[in-house]
Amino acid sequence: MKTGLPRRRRSTGKLSIPTLFSPLHARLTAALLFLAVLSALTSGCGFQLRGELELPSAMDAVMLQGIDRYSEQGQDIVVSLVAVGSRVTQDPVDATSVLRITHRSMERRVLSVDAAGKANEYELIYRLSFLLEDKTGEILVPTQTILQVRDYIFDLDNVLGKSEEEALLRRQLEKDAALRMLRRLEAGLRVSPRAMLMNSSVVG
């Protein structure tokens, strides 16, 4: 029996298809692709150190102080140390040296603005200061500071993607600082009289 009422059209599911090609989806896809590529490039940082660095015996067992070893930056340092053959310990008796992180800071600074006076380019500045002591408190490597700088474009039409990009850039600065710190430690220990004495006593 016909009622004269119009028949409801059955949904085909096609209404959601245009959203896949919307500008917002395209920007999010680009941002996720950027994150995936950069994450893949940085995930093997610890392995890059193998064969490149050979730390003296003064760093056979390192006690880490001044930073939470379970924080992201703390884990960067722990993974890098382990990658070059050091052990990370919390036992002062077991430790052959103490790596002390004395300062960490991340700063974001405006580099340029658009015609409306809104920031469209930023600069990230990361500082990591450290020193190395033996278990008696004698300085093996005096305080040094790693300075990392990276700039990036900020798109107001893609705030979500750019925020994720900034977060990843911050992590990359921290990872790079951990690697540079190990290279500084290796170079410093090779000219440290105290470290050379410790190394000769182990060899002997």
Digit-coded pLDDT (tens) for 49-58: 545 677 888 9
Over residues 188-202, mean pLDDT? 66
Mean pLDDT of the residues in the chain: 77
Fold entry, domain 21-203: Double Stranded RNA Binding Domain (3.30.160)
Q: Is residue 41 predicted with pLDDT exceeding 50?
A: no
Evaluate if pTM is beyond 0.85.
Answer: no
Task: Locate the domains of the chain by residue range.
Answer: 21-203
3-state secondary structure of 128: strand
Distance in angstroms between the alpha carbons of the first and the last residue of the chain: 104
Residue of 156 and 146 predicted with greater confidence: 146
Q: Is residue 17 predicted with pLDDT exceeding 70?
A: no
Residue of 135 and 2 predicted with greater confidence: 135
Percentage of the chain beyond pLDDT 90 is 48
- pLDDT band with cut points at 50, 70 and 90 for residue 202: very low
Residue of 1 and 61 predicted with greater confidence: 61
